[in-house]
Amino acid sequence: MKRTIKLLALAAVVAVFAVPALAQTKECNDEFKSATYSKWYDNRQKDQPAAYEAAKEYLAVCTTDDQYTAALKKFKAAYEAATADVTNRTQFNEAVQKKNYAEQMRLGKALLATDPDNPAVNIVLGLAGTGDPNLLSESVPYAKKAIQMIEAGKPFDPLPSKDTALAFLNYVLAKSTVKSDATAAIPLFVKALRFESDLKKNPLVYNELAAAYGEGPVAKLSEDYKKFVGQPESPESKLALANLNQAIDRQIDALARTAALSTNPADKKAIMDVLTGLYTDRNQSQNGLNELVASVLTKPLPDLPTPLTSLPTPSAPATPANSGSQSGSNPGTTSTAGAGNGSGTATGTTSGKATGSAKPTATPTPKKPRTNYRRG
């Protein structure tokens, strides 16, 4: 008997708790529809959080579409997108401040999904690869789009100047390109270095340019010249040598700029060691080297040389290449780097690379970018 009473008492307790739960279940009837829709309609402009809750409740209870559901679904989706966008923007700015490049990329992509032509977000994502090399390939399409937008007159925020933005964005393209095609990367390095920005004063970038010359045109033209080594001089060998010398002189120019800008004694010595060897092979003398390093920053950065298809007719006896020459070619001499010294063995740069560990360790990054940005 006692057991029966206890079971009945337990059933009564369960019933007491079950009744309120049943009472809270909403029914999708006309009364609920009218009241909930009116709550959404009255608040959709003045109190959107309340309107959102009403729309969400209506759609949860009334699962069959009716005359109200289309408007409520549209409002709910727009509200969720807007609130997510605000959250993403806040977190995106925090990621910029903290230099969290992976988060910049993740959150920036979400922002661009709803605002694809935002200049500032495209710029930040385009530069993320300079801070995190793992993001370099992902940064490329954003860098390209940001360059197009800035050149079309869009804002360059969060960077301090248009030149700074274009310099670093082109630098991203150069660093990405050099991995697969060193020669194609050279014009991008040159373009980046011609803008007035901190990048122009960074020895690392000139060293990267020198390496691109070594891995690209110098390596190829040295290989092309090898077949002439130890053979009698001919118009073809002179032309091959002239083209090789052009590339070597550009490499020397880039290394001289690296040396001129290097402030770390160890870096400067390593660069000068490489430069001295290359310059001596090219000119058969060290004469003029110190003057070159002292004056090179006063001269325009030369372009990638145009390949020569014929030799100019000399108006005077040929002389060894002038270390200060921007053209970098002297078709009349055969005693230059990679040309052979009469013994049939190539000298100097037939490997096509100027080696040396003088790179500054830090990757160039824009100076103190602002974190606030405006929409384009």
pLDDT tens-digit profile, the chain (376 residues): 444 444 444 444 444 444 444 445 789 998 898 888 999 899 888 888 888 888 888 888 898 898 898 999 888 788 777 776 788 889 999 999 999 999 999 999 999 998 999 999 999 999 999 999 999 999 999 999 999 999 999 999 999 999 999 999 999 999 999 999 999 999 999 999 999 999 999 999 999 999 999 999 999 999 999 999 999 999 999 999 999 999 999 999 999 999 999 999 999 999 999 999 999 999 999 999 999 999 999 999 999 999 999 987 766 554 444 443 333 333 333 333 333 332 222 233 333 334 333 433 345 655 543 333 333 3
Say if residues 119 and 150 touch (Cβ distance below 8 Å): yes
Q: List the structure tokens of 328.
A: 């970098």
Q: What Å distances lie between residue 336 and 128, 209, 284, 308, CA to CA?
A: 42, 22, 7, 17
Q: What's the confidence (pLDDT) of residue 83?
A: 72
Q: Return the SS3 of 231.
A: coil
φ/ψ of residue 286, rounded to 5: -95, 0
Per-domain residue ranges of the chain: 28-98, 111-185, 202-309+325-367
Please report the pLDDT score of residue 375 as a whole number.
34
Q: How far is CA 200 from the centre of its chain?
A: 16
Residue 48: φ, ψ to 5°: -65, -35
Write the CA distances from 313 to 153, 225, 228, 246, 331, integer angstroms. 47, 21, 21, 17, 10
Going from the C-alpha of 61 to that of each of 24, 44, 311, 334, the distances in angstroms are 12, 19, 86, 89
Residue 213 token pair: 């010359």
**Per-residue pLDDT at 49:** 83
294: which residues sit within 8 A by CB, 6+ positions away? Answer: 260
Closest C-alpha among 271, 256, 248, 272 to residue 321: 248
User: Which residue shows structure tokens 């880039």?
Assistant: 254
Q: State how far the Cα of 273 lies from the Cα of 259, in Å rounded to an integer.
A: 10
DSSP track, 76-142: HHHHHHHHHHHHHHHHHHHHHHTT-HHHHHHHHHHHHHH-TT-HHHHHHHHHHHHH-GGGHHHHHHH
C-alpha distances in Å from residue 218, one per residue of 188, 214, 351, 364: 17, 5, 8, 26
How many whole angstroms separate alpha carbon 37 and alpha carbon 106?
Answer: 37
pLDDT at 20: 43
Which pTM was predicted?
0.69
